[in-house]
Amino acid sequence: MKNNIFKIFLNSIPILIMIGLIPVVGNDYWLALIYCLIITISFWIKYEKREYIIILFGLFIMIICEAIFLSTGVEVFNRNTLFGIMPIWLPLLWGYAFVAIKRGIKLLEI
């Protein structure tokens, strides 16, 4: 179990790096490009069969969900380079988070 927790932590490192870069990289387009590089490197290091489906699902479903959520006015982004409502890098972060969540659930299965 301890080994699985460590593997879950390792899978979360790209997400932690992505989140850490948000205040450092002020240009949303550059940040999106950096996210694409991080995701590519992460998949190069470890890729499980058909994870591209999970990342694409997470990317597109979160664009829709975030758009609906933002329409309520509960949350507003100052950086709104995607459709004028959210940062363009946000769906990339969510998409890779879906992959990390899938990997974590797989590791926790007994």
Q: What is the extent of the structural domain holding 82?
A: 2-108
Mean pLDDT for all residues in the chain: 93
pLDDT at 39: 97
- Number of H helices and number of E strands within the chain? 4, 0
Dihedrals phi, psi of 86, to nearest 5 degrees? -150, 160
pLDDT tens digit sequence for 47-94: 999 999 999 999 999 999 999 999 998 989 999 999 999 999 999 999
DSSP secondary structure of 74-101: S---S---BTTTB-TTHHHHHHHHHHHH
Q: Is the pTM of this model over 0.95?
A: no
Total number of domains constituting the chain: 1
